[in-house]
Amino acid sequence: MIMQVTKPARKAIKEGTQPLDVFFAPKTVAVIGATETAGTVGRTILWNLVSSPFGGTVFPINPKRPSVLGVKAYKHISDVPETVDLAVIVTPAASVPGIVHDCAEEGVKAAIVISAGFKEIGPAGLELERQTLLEARHGNMRIIGPNCLGVMSPLTGLNAASSRPRARWRCTSPSS
């Protein structure tokens, strides 16, 4: 009897998906730590997502506000009415392991951890990073970060980065 082994790469090719699609072409994104406060990373990332043409749904997570930038906000990732593909985490480092745990429990496939204060600050930060990665592994989540600028994909129109874009998204058609 011959057993067929299914390899993840072959499955992805067959299904037309790629392992990093969850980062560059998500259908739903939660911004955990979204805020109205001007000049903050949480506001910048939310603004970049809602004003970029990636075509997905954005869910701000803020336990103190009913909406952020005019978008309905949710107190916790478990309150979001859809399954979230990608969580962008912009909260203090001490809260990140618990947030990644909660995201994993809710079936979130991946997270971008923008937050700083991990191994770059010494042993205490290194322990937070270890806990974060442990939670991600238990939940089979992919992680970019911590302490990163985010992700942009001109191909899909996604802008989940913490900097304001200099170039504007434009659709052009060839003139006749």
Residues 6+ apart with CB under 8 A from 87: 29, 30, 31, 32, 77, 99, 103, 108, 110, 111, 112
- pLDDT for the residue numbered 174: 55
pLDDT tens-digit profile of 24-54? 999 999 999 999 999 999 999 999 999 988 8
Q: Which pTM value belongs to this model?
A: 0.84
Sorting pLDDT into bands at 50, 70 and 90, what band is 171?
low
pLDDT tens-digit profile of 87-115? 999 999 999 999 999 999 999 999 999 99
Q: What letters, b where the CB count within 10 A reaches 16 and e where it falls short, cover 122-149?
A: eeebeebbebbbebbeebebebbbbbee
Neighbours of 97 (CB within 10 A): 19
The single-letter code of the amino acid at 20 is L
pLDDT exceeds 60 at position 169: no
